[in-house]
Amino acid sequence: MVESVRKRSERALGAGPLAEEWVARDARVLSPSYTRSYPFVMGHGLGSEVWDVDGRRYIDFNAGIAVTTTGHCHPDIVRAIQEQATRFIHMSGTDFYYPLEIELAEQLDRLAPGTGGHQSFLCNSGAEAVEAALKLARYTTRRPRFLAFIGAFHGRTMGALSLTASKAVQRRGFAPLMAEVSHVPYAYCYRCAYHLEYPSCGIACVSFIEDTLFRHMVPADEVAAIFVEPIQGEGGYVVPPPEFLPRLRELADRYGILFIDDEIQAGIGRTGKMFAIEHWGVVPDVIAVAKGLASGVPLGAAIARRELMTWVPGSHGNTFGGNPLACAAALETLRLVESEYMAHAAAMGELLIGRLREMQGRYEQFGDVRGIGLMVGVELVRDRRSRQEAPELRDAIVQRAFERGLLLLGCGSSAVRFCPALNIPQPLLEEGLDLFEEAVQAALAD
């Protein structure tokens, strides 16, 4: 390991005095529902490096949970926001026109898979994009029901939460949720709900929907839409096998059900393609995006095939959606991602997954290493034979990484996720991976 890394990692060592003060103030006035894994208090950031309020440097492998696509404070993004801020900051796209919003929707129309054109509903967050997709699906099909997957995360507003089935704590205490949502197992082959093996399973998780759910419980002609993440995010960075999404698309087509692709975490170049679903050659009816779309300025979109956008003026809208600062940041983000960073993410993803697979050879506790591009997860287990989940080990690794100057987050019950900025420089990625391995060794020695 390079000497400079060791010096820095010795300096990081957890929260400093200013950070501790802020954490105490936070606890008094901010909602206790937030889930902070460790006391990192951001001072400033640049690219994939961040400094806390005590001036301690960290490598950022989270990118604000897959949000700062272009790294922190990319000069082109900052310039775009600043220039727009001198013209106007808000006008309300629901009630007035402005070129930036139209230009962004034109880009989304061009980039979204499929021919025939797309129209976008712009909003402020992932959950709001999912809400828009839910409402549009009901409106345009006039059907009441939805399908979603166990392990899915689609957001926390009441409609989106009804689709979410990631952790029980996210739902406990909030019932009744929206009725008529059925959840079925996702293609989580490492822990198949049917205890089958891929490929001899015949993709039982899709046939179950038709053979069991539709026959016994859910009339298919009442289903408006299937919501699916092309790679489950909060559920554990779970990559489905090649047949899963195409088979789901065929099933949806057979019954006139809309295929709604939640790209909120996987989209905008993160997997080396603009939308992750493109890896499977599937064309969705509606795509929900948010997170990485505007490099950190809040913005979401429900992008639908044009003929599905049947709703009339007044049927859906909002105040802040398509905010001009966010649109300016999004246009620059899409330009950078398309021209350069998407390819870089694919190349860095190869390096990342390669290094993690090498480590898998050294550590029995690396049960599964999976991902595409810069959306990669390592599922920790007690041992590879039992595949028993090891959440304490995962949490210890995340903690030890923080103490060494690396910001990581978990996902699923027992996985660590890697979702750095798409433009992370190779030396920083490698430095972070060295710190990660040190953290693994420290956690195993605990």
Ligand X SMILES: Cc1ncc(COP(=O)(O)O)c(C=O)c1O
Residues found near ligand X in the complex (CB under 6 A): 65, 125-127, 130, 153-155, 229, 233-234, 262, 264-265, 290
| DSSP 8-state assignment for residue 339 | I
Query: Per this entry, what is the length of the chain?
Result: 446
Q: How far is the CB of 186 from ligand X (least distance, A)?
A: 12
CA–CA gap between residue 182 and residue 402 (Å, rounded): 39
Name which of 45 and 151 has its Cβ closer to ligand X: 151
Residue 100, φ and ψ in degrees, nearest 5: -60, -40
Looking at beta carbons only, is 6 or 171 nearer to ligand X? 171
Are the C-beta atoms of 227 and 154 separated by less than 8 Å? Answer: yes
Q: Which is nearer to ligand X, 293 or 309 (CB)?
A: 293
- Contact status, residue 144 vs residue 222, Cβ threshold 8 Å: yes
Measured from the CB atom, is 9 or 164 closer to ligand X?
Answer: 164
Indicate the residue whose CB is closest to ligand X: 126
Nearer to ligand X, 12 or 260 (CB): 260
CB of 241 to ligand X, least distance (A): 19
Residue 314 beta carbon to ligand X: minimum distance, rounded to whole angstroms: 24
Provide, rounded to whole angstroms, the least separation between the CB of residue 155 and ligand X: 4
Q: How far is the CB of 264 from ligand X (least distance, A)?
A: 4
Name, in order, each residue with C-beta under 8 angstroms of 211's C-beta and a sequence gap of 6 or more.
none
Residue with tokens 């909002």: 318
Least distance in Å: CB of 124 to ligand X? 8
Type and span of the H or E element at 302: strand 300-305
Nearer to ligand X, 290 or 331 (CB): 290
Q: Which is nearer to ligand X, 58 or 153 (CB)?
A: 153
Of the pair 149, 214, the CB lying nearest ligand X is at 149
Cα–Cα distance measured from residue 357 to residue 369, given in angstroms and rounded to the nearest whole number: 6
When the beta carbons of 149 and 366 are compared against ligand X, the nearer one is 149
Query: Which among 272, 185, 274 is positioned nearest to 194, based on CA atoms?
Result: 185
CB of 16 to ligand X, least distance (A): 29
CA distances from 57 to 265, 314, 368, 429 (A): 26, 49, 30, 15
Q: At 3, list the tokens.
A: 């000497």
Q: Which is nearer to ligand X, 107 or 157 (CB)?
A: 157
Per DSSP, 238 falls in state B
Looking at this protein, which amino acid is placed at residue 362? R
- Smallest gap from Cβ 290 to ligand X, in A, equals 5
Nearer to ligand X, 296 or 349 (CB): 296
Q: Helix (H, G, I), strand (E, B), or coil: what is residue 195? A: coil
Phi and psi at 181, nearest 5°, equal -110, 125
Give dist(CA 27, CA 18) in Å, integer.
Answer: 14
Using only C-alpha atoms, the chain has a radius of gyration, in whole angstroms, of 22
Report how far residue 148's alpha carbon sits from residue 183's, in angstroms, rounded to the nearest whole number. 5
Cα dist from 317 to 123, 137, 250, whole Å: 8, 15, 32
Q: Where are the alpha helices (DSSP H) in 37-98?
A: 63-66, 75-87
For residue 142, the minimal CB distance to ligand X (Å) is: 25
Query: If you search the block for the tokens 């309300």, which residue do you land on?
Result: 92
**Residue 421 contacts residue 70 (beta carbons within 8 Å):** yes
| Min dist. Cβ of residue 353 to ligand X (A) | 20
Cβ of residue 63: shortest distance to ligand X, in angstroms? Answer: 12
